[in-house]
Chain A
Amino acid sequence: MSYPEDLRYTKEHEWVRVAGDVGTIGITDHAQKELGDIVYVDLPKVGAHIEQGKSLGSVESVKAVSDIYSPVSGEVTEVNETLAQAPEKLNQDPHGAAWLIKLRLSAPNEAKGLLSAADYQAYVGAES
């Protein structure tokens, strides 16, 4: 899978799409492949404050749990409720329909320090 150019990425395999002061966060295709079949996602509630680099929740496969580290800081404005019923969406469309949360960014410039699609592609290419 190619990594969308309009997203910024972290080395812990999360992505963020910034539009004004709204950030949409998810995990990358690489992450979902590593996890295998995803069975559950644990997400914060609307109104929660998230800090860049801190855990915002976790994603589970049958045999493992992985923390999700937020690429940016802000207040949670929306949570993707469809993932509760259909966590498999994360395996199918990790960069699109299976976004995790939306934040009102407290520091929109944070995203600039993250990896570009090309850098991330190189990073995971090197890792595997």
Chain B
Amino acid sequence: MSVAGTDVTPRLQLDGVHKLFGAKAVLQGIDLTVDEHEVVCLIGPSGCGKSTLLRCVDLLERIDAGRILLDGRDITARGVDGNAVRKRMAIVFQSFNLFPHLSVIDNVTLAPRKAHGVRRADAEATARDLLSRFGLADKADEYPERLSGGQQQRAAIVRALTIDPDLLLLDEVTSALDPELVAEVLAAIRELAGSGMTMVLATHEMGFARDVADRVCFLHEGRVLESGPPRQVLTDPLEERTRQFLSRIIEAGRL
């Protein structure tokens, strides 16, 4: 979308998205817009629906009401090819989810080769470039179990990037890491933000959200309760709920 002006089609748009798990309403009317090159952080207490929201966007979960648009096209409409949609975005999970039976290079080149029809040599060349960009050049032929948590998560980020996504979703990617490994993964994400990647992150790292996000959204009970520039939402929130959440975070020493 290179159209200049105010009415540029957003990369991602959610209109009144609802998601039920049985009788439990996890998302209760999410409205959210993400422009190209924008970095949006989702914050909020556990169980507020951050992960579910990301999984719904990636069509890993079917939504029960509302719609999700990617570059203006409704991807939750009937008859949409989910595989084609998923080829345009990528998600990085909290627990890495690398394939344990494949070496790092095979993990990273599987999707380009099989889903995108890239030739093996080309896929590996791209993959090795990306791996060295994220400090994993010497780990290409190792198996995931031999890597540290931080290295595994960086490999998972590389795996997501090899399909050259228009939208990158990151689901609490540092939550499963030992504290001393968090920084290396955050540095990788910061680099991506700098390169103009459009990203939606669910995170508990408030300091990081303040640094990297263009916008922070506070989710509460399946709704976006408050949204705005990080400095405003994180230091001077409008909503009482946001204030309470942040004060608990500050007590825990995470901001």
* A and B found bound together: no
